[in-house]
């Protein structure tokens, strides 16, 4: 078995003066020429903690020939500072076989314990009472290739849960919340709602590529995770015995309609109580995650964030940002997310 | 003290042949003339259970002089049938002093126990830890005129919770759900979220008139429940000592933004985690209520409802409508709504 | 084999005084009561040529018990006139086993020769050069149940090609036009474009019920013809050998995107030259058909139609409606539609 | 009493070579490092006439410690030129107590005489005939803190009247125009319309901070000037005797509805003749001001301006820009604005 | 010369019992049959004061043959009452040569003195200082056919100024208001603005037919009043000497852009100060007129109107509707409209 | 006759080290100052193949005085490289009389043979059967000034056919496609449809200036090509005898409505079969051209293009980009475009 090369330092921790001999993703590379006609190369190196700019002044052509954009590279150099930001002056850089690296080093990933999250999710599917839904999840969980992808998939490229494990975090949070909502209103079909919470975005395991960077796959751009997810579910349903087709259509309708309205990608609007609820639970979980991640990264002021271009507003960080008293000191334990 | 006249029969139960001597709201009246030049009068009579058409053939002018539209009337007549629907032939009709009637007879009202709902709501406000929020609710609950209106107000004229007690049902359901959501996500300000759930629509106690019919008040049409509610809250806050203004603005922001987007009436979009959550909790509770009431009234088919004009779709009644198995047999107990 | 009962007269031809003993669809029935308390029943009878109102004055309860809405019925009665329109006074009406009728009698259908249209369509699929596309169509054409449904399916409930055979007429017209467009522009993939023209709406064979009336099926309302069509194509592709998945995704993208924009139901916008063209060819064929059918039914004036509510305008019938000279006397021959 | 430090030169007049020893707002500061590891600081200095970039090469850390962004600073340095624009090389910079400066030096302000504008506005409120409206304005004008803010408040951050005194200029112009429109149409309530013109944006005195820069206040972002303005008016109305509530609601409706439509922030659409007029008068005055200011700053060509991003078009400067003849030589005198 | 038949009574004044022998427009006619098979005819008769229903019981076929919809007819009959509304029982009805009638009898018309309005408008065009604009108006006013149409044209079919003379009322009101606005702001081109106010809708003299009913003309539906108006102005400009084309384009731009935004029919958005102003002046004058006419016709309540479907709200009639005090007793004199 | 100066090299072919003595358009020029106070000038030079940046270090003021932006200039200098892109160091630059240059050198132009395209277009107009349409085209083609402009006009500034000859390419392609569509559907007026295809954008010959750069003309910005085109057609129609006005309005309607909907600039929506078809044919031809030109310029990957900002998506290059097999090997011959 190949030996894995360990990454030693992460971008977030690099400061001026540091000597570097480590692995990164070669996220971007631009070959240019100085006024004297000699070449140099600007690059962007990334790992799961962030990005750093780099420059190659010597042996430029030789180094440029050794690595393409998107590859994992071994870099030797020193960190300096340029225009107030760290910049790596690169002396050597060569592509490395990804099989010899731990890809988790290169993409941002959830801080939560993925196995534990997955175990909680399986606990929820074991609690279902509908035989064909249990059989459907048994089929998914028994497929190791699917499970491996499912545990790693992100839920988005940029907006929310845009990291390894993001899909699992998102689906589990929604399923737990769905369980609470199902006990709040009568007339809710708990089994379908929880199944929908887990499966509504299932097509994202194929909509995205997430080896060295998170981006849309060919199939993802052409068909969307909604269509891919329907196909994944249907393929397994066909292999199960005794699936009531009317009920299966109600499950598939949850996938079809979870974006809420056609202009946001819903093929049909939600037409059952469960579909309406699933849409709002998805909205809540993705928006709250997006806003909290934006707040976490933003250092504009203790009270207000910078302007969020997509959501079109500044966000206020709440009471804790303006006063010392917190309204809810004891809520931390037991929270999902 | 005036003696209350008891209503004996409700419109829903009137069948052809019945003799009637009872109270109704004179919802509409149109005076017309027969071909022979003699007058007659078509009316619509209503009570909390529905509407019935009526006609006056004799003593028309005298009867017409005795009651105006919107008044509560005592009617003597007999139910016959016209074009397949019941019609009351009216022999006498006179206006009655509303003070001598039980207005609950004339408007649809929640089947739930209003006092019990209100007690649960007070339980929630007692659980708050923020002194000035507790003081604010103490101020509201200590005002018997306000409480009397708050217990009776509807939450809408037509779409959802459009009945006496509807506002209380809606706010309590939202507050209970808010409590669950606050324990699901970290970073939520439970006190503010629950206070927002209870107060976001508080202006509806003045936005609507709801004595003999539910309609917008003069003030409601000119100012909207958002502006009225802000005024009601601000007026009480001014009388409290030690209200931190920054925190009070966060509470008022929940009222300002709960419609979510300007095109739906939000003066500002939700700019805190709590405001975003409150908006979705409001959406969930009002939409689920609207759909369930539409399903309850609609008898088109056991599976699909008729087309819902405002929401723009047919609704499917779910698995229980297509199969004998219900996915969630034991969820009934403990549910809010 | 059961003997088929022949329909003798069609609604369009019934005039006052005619004696009727014939088959119709009992489109609507409403049981009412006269002032004297006796029952009567208003009905609407339909066949492929239109609708006529009817009334039952005698033996009402017995007749009402014999037939439900949506059934094919045998009716005995006489045509009279009521408020200027024909009305059938019904003496007897009993449900008939649909298997003993020719369902083509009851739904509007294309005037064109369906077998001939289908033969032309097969000619086009034989002209394709891509092996897996030819194999896909072979699979469809070799399935007699599918072919039988495909030949009868309508393309819509109301707007365009809303009649038996409408889907075939629409797809053939689009495929022929696609062939012309493919020869006009370079860079067009003729095989994919023609395949897309034939398959883009294929899910409509299951989206609609079209036995005695054209309406959405359960599955159609929950999933839409786009999702159903993708499933139908994918199921056959899985059984074929040597399907290049990248190319298959390009075909499926044509189905996914043919509505052009999300707000009109496109899951993804058209992302290939062929997808952009297919969308416009669909727009042209459906709009032109819708407008011509509206013009054909409308008798408002020789020049302008009445206001078209969905398209939001009056239509002008063109030069031939205002002058005797026609600009294009010899174009009739060889036209598709 | 503290002695005021006089500002001697304004940014607009600084040219290369000038020695500077003067007051500015430290609008921005970014601390960076040179390649040799030594720090430097880029700043932006502003005053009412504009902005100039600056750089600190020496004593960087000491200077950086002496002033924060947003503060008024005393700067010693020399103007040079960098990339074709003036740049100040700063030798010393220290924060100055704002109380010792004339804040009018630092923010753009109207060229008009504020006292004279205010006097004209008071003349209009004296001309009103409705006692409670006169009393309301008496209350506002008698509050020196309010009046001081009202005279200085801007009407916007960027689009129109975005300078000290802008709110007063805008309201007076609208009130004068409202007076003309009230005499043009019958059925207009002159008193309400003029009161609305003066009070519709009154909340902007608190929606904006405008000490050293114009920006939204905390309260402004959370509540909007509409809600703040309603609160300011209501608070004074409560202290007046004999205010007819129905009429007061009509005044408050003018504030509620002046943005015209919900998607532009109107809580309710204008529902009175006066509210409809006030909305258009506001549109006219803000748009005309925005366009004229854009034209004044833009030097693209004598005929056309550059593209206005928000309004989405180039503007043509009119006849005077293309010919020597002006259509209206004698209209200058007596104009408001 | 043909003798004009005088109309004696108007629909508004007809009451039950009246004998009628007078002229009307045969607005609608529907031929029906009674149960006994005999024909009867329902009609709608109209004149400038309103509409009345009528019925023909005898000699139906003969009477029906004598007049088509849209024609002016002489009717003999008697007014009775049906379902509470007047209905005319018609004994005879024959078409009349329109040349023998006063068409002003049949269409609603302004109550104002058209000649006096036109004289005021000419006064404004005489006040212009731009030679080619004066020449353009001279050309229009010197064409008696144009002037005759211009004096009669309506400004709309339904929404505002939808009566004979409405275009003139609308243009004069706008021109007077434009004059006031031009003196309020500097930088306004008074001559162009007033010319635009008078000419912006000039195409409506051909967009509408307004002989016996107001409806769109063939040309109006195909080209719109904007395109027709531009053609009318351009045709006259071509015949004038010394028209500066750049200035003429600024005038034509006022016609092109007066609807404000493309979605409301503006070919280009307003790109000059004058065009922006003209758009708002048009909005004000048409909306105020529409609302006042709606208020005048609506008798729902002294305070609120019924719901206005197009504008989407109820309107409040203002202070005078809720109190006895009017805020502006002396504004009546000198008002335009 | 003036001798034409030949351009020797094009921007696309300039590489570092090249000596230049050639003609360019001075697209932009910005005069700046170095730190030492000495001036320098940055410029952008363009020709039909693209743009190159340049810089003037010496004799700056003298050179700056010799040429204004937009002029054709003769430049002497040498190409170097700056930040990885070629940059011309300019030693001399003087304006050249455009009459002495071949303006085709400076603007991008179609590669097709303009005379041949025009000949094909005339062939189509000769095939028309409607006398007045033939006469109209005779009038256009007989005007050498118009024809010269028509052959050179672009169809857009940026989006599609944005090059010399683009309008002709676009109109011919549409007319040929219109001919095919006219033979596909019955009820199409071939003569009007082809005439509309050729004339719908005719106003673009005046909407754009296209001497040294493609930009909107004064008239184009104020009136739009729709209004200009209508004026051009109307002016010629007035000079023809025997033009049936109803038919001419149908032609003008094609120009009026070809943008399809008001929000995209259609003055009226398409109201004839021909107008609906023309709109879609225009959409197809402009979108396909825009996408193909975007694909041609974009080198992001062999399969997907970069994100298209205006159309809001990445485009896939189709099967040929992912496999060696092409579906349509023999379609190249005879294609229009």
Neighbours of D, requiring at least 3 CB pairs below 8 Å, are A, B, E, F
Which residue of A81, A303, A304 is in closest CB contact with D33? A81
Residue C84: pLDDT band with limits 50, 70, 90: low
> Which of C170, C292, C327 is the best residue to mutate to test the F interface, defined by the most F CB atoms within 10 Å of its own CB?
C327
Residue C34: pLDDT band with limits 50, 70, 90: low
Contact (Cβ atoms closer than 8 angstroms) between residue F134 and residue F143? no
Residue B274 neighbours by CB under 8 Å, 6+ apart? A318, B188, B189, B192, B193, B196, B250, B254
Contact (Cβ atoms closer than 8 angstroms) between residue A222 and residue C249? yes
Neighbours of E, requiring at least 3 CB pairs below 8 Å, are B, C, D, F
The answer, yes or no, to whether residue B325 has pLDDT greater than 80, is no
The answer, yes or no, to whether residue B335 has pLDDT greater than 70, is no
Residue B129 has what pLDDT?
A: 97
Nearest CA in chain B to A133: B327
CB atoms D303 and F32 under 8 Å: no
Record the pTM. 0.89
Chain C contact set for B81 (CB, 8 A):
33, 35, 37
Q: What is the DSSP letter of D4?
A: P
Distance CA A172, CA A165 (A): 11
Average pLDDT over residues C137-153: 97
**Dihedral sign computed on CA atoms, order B160, B163, B168, B172:** negative
Residue F272 has what pLDDT?
A: 97
Contact (Cβ atoms closer than 8 angstroms) between residue F212 and residue F70? yes
Chain D residues bordering chain A (beta-carbon distance below 8 Å):
30-33, 35, 37, 218, 221-222
- Per DSSP bridges, beta strands A19-33 and A39-47 are antiparallel
Contact (Cβ atoms closer than 8 angstroms) between residue B280 and residue B302? no
Quickly count helices (H) and strands (E) in chain F.
Answer: 10, 9
Contact (Cβ atoms closer than 8 angstroms) between residue E128 and residue E137? yes
At B117-167, the pLDDT tens digits run: 999 999 999 999 999 999 999 999 999 999 999 999 999 987 788 899 999
Chain D contact set for A87 (CB, 8 A):
none
Average pLDDT over residues A6-32: 86
Residue C35: pLDDT band with limits 50, 70, 90: low
Residue F328 has what pLDDT?
A: 37
**Selection from C277, B291, B224 nearest residue A187 by Cα:** B291
Residue C333 has what pLDDT?
A: 37
- The pLDDT > 70 percentage for chain F reads 93
Q: How far is C17 from chain E (nearest CA, A)?
A: 10
Chain C contact set for E64 (CB, 8 A):
none
**Selection from F114, F237, F119, F124 nearest residue F176 by Cα:** F124
Nearest CA in chain F to D88: F35
User: C103-114 burial, b if ≥16 CB within 10 A, otherwise e?
Assistant: bebbbbbbeeeb
Q: How far is C103 from chain B (nearest CA, A)?
A: 24
Q: How far is F116 from chain D (nearest CA, A)?
A: 38
Residue C214 has what pLDDT?
A: 87
Contact (Cβ atoms closer than 8 angstroms) between residue F254 and residue C250? no
Helices (DSSP H) in chain F: which residue ranges? 60-65, 114-126, 131-141, 144-152, 166-184, 190-199, 204-207, 218-239, 245-257, 273-297
The answer, yes or no, to whether residue E191 has pLDDT greater than 80, is yes
CB atoms E218 and C83 under 8 Å: no
Average pLDDT over residues F143-148: 97
The answer, yes or no, to whether residue A325 has pLDDT greater than 50, is no
> Which of E32, E40, E43, E217 is the best residue to mutate to test the C interface, defined by the most C CB atoms within 10 Å of its own CB?
E32
Query: Which residues are bridge partners to C29 per DSSP?
Result: C43
User: B241, exposed or middle or buried, with CB in 10 Å at 0-12, 13-18, 19+?
Assistant: exposed
* Token digits of residue B7: 């209503």
Distance CA C128, CA C133 (A): 7
| B214 vs B274: which has the higher pLDDT | B274
At C208-235, the pLDDT tens digits run: 998 888 889 999 999 999 999 999 999 9
Chain D contact set for F32 (CB, 8 A):
83-85
Nearest CA in chain C to B318: C222
Which residue of F189, F250, F319 is in closest CB contact with C192? F319
Integer CA distances (angstroms), D296 to B281, D157, D306, D337, F85, in order = 49, 18, 12, 14, 37
Detail the DSSP E strand segments found in chain A. 19-33, 39-47, 50-56, 72-82, 85-95, 208-210, 214-216, 304-308, 313-316
At E226-261, the pLDDT tens digits run: 999 999 999 999 999 999 999 999 999 999 999 999
Q: How far is B283 from chain E (nearest CA, A)?
A: 23
The answer, yes or no, to whether residue C327 has pLDDT greater than 70, is no
CB atoms E221 and C304 under 8 Å: yes
Query: Could you say which residues of chain D have pLDDT below 70?
Result: 1-2, 33-37, 83-84, 322-337
Count the alpha carbons within 13 Å of B217 in the hemisphere toward its beta carbon. Answer: 19
The answer, yes or no, to whether residue E222 has pLDDT greater than 60, is yes
Residue E336 has what pLDDT?
A: 54
Least confident range from A28-32, A306-310, E25-29, E183-187: namely A28-32
Backbone Cα Rg of chain D = 23
Nearest CA in chain D to F31: D84
CB atoms F35 and D82 under 8 Å: yes
> Chain-wide mean pLDDT for chain D?
89
The ipTM is 0.86
CB atoms C84 and E37 under 8 Å: no
Chain F residues bordering chain A (beta-carbon distance below 8 Å):
16, 80-84, 303-304, 314, 316
Distance CA E138, CA E128 (A): 12
Neighbours of B, requiring at least 3 CB pairs below 8 Å, are A, C, D, E
**Selection from E114, D20, C226, D241 nearest residue E122 by Cα:** E114
User: F286-304 burial, b if ≥16 CB within 10 A, otherwise e?
Assistant: bbbbbbbebbeebeeeeeb
At A263-302, the pLDDT tens digits run: 888 999 999 999 999 999 999 999 999 999 999 988 777 8
Neighbours of C, requiring at least 3 CB pairs below 8 Å, are A, B, E, F
Distance CA A177, CA A171 (A): 10
């Amino acid at each position: 078995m190949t030996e894995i090369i360990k990454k030693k330092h992460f971008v977030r921790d690099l400061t001026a003066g540091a000597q570097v001999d480590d692995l990164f993703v070669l996220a971007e590379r631009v070959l240019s020429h100085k006024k004297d006609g000699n070449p140099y190369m600007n690059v962007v190196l990334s790992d799961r903690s962030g990005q750093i700019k780099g420059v190659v002044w010597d042996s430029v052509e030789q180094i440029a020939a050794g690595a393409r954009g998107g590859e994992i590279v071994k870099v030797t150099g020193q960190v300096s500072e340029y225009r107030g930001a760290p910049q790596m002056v690169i002396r050597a850089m060569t592509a490395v076989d990804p099989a010899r690296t731990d890809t988790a080093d290169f993409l941002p990933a959830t801080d939560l314990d993925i196995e534990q999250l997955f175990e909680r999710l399986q606990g929820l599917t074991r609690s279902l009472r509908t035989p064909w839904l249990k059989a459907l999840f048994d089929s998914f969980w028994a497929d190791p290739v699917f499970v491996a992808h499912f545990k790693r998939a992100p839920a988005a490229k940029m907006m929310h849960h845009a990291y390894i494990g993001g899909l699992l975090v998102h689906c589990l949070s929604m399923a737990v919340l769905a369980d609470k909502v199902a006990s709040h209103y009568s007339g809710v079909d708990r089994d379908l709602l929880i199944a929908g919470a887990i499966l509504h975005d299932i097509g994202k395991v194929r909509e995205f590529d997430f080896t060295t960077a998170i981006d849309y796959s060919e199939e993802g751009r052409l068909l969307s995770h909604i269509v891919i997810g329907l196909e994944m579910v249907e393929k397994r349903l066909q292999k199960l015995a005794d699936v009531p087709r009317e009920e299966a259509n109600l499950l598939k309708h949850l996938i079809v309609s979870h974006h809420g309205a056609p202009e946001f990608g819903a093929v049909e609007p939600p037409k059952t109580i469960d579909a309406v609820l699933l849409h709002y639970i998805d909205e809540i979980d993705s928006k709250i995650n997006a806003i909290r991640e934006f707040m976490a990264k933003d250092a504009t002021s203790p009270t207000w964030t910078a302007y969020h271009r997509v959501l079109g507003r500044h966000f206020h960080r709440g009471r804790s940002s303006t006063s010392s008293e917190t309204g809810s000191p004891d809520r931390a334990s037991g929270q999902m997310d």
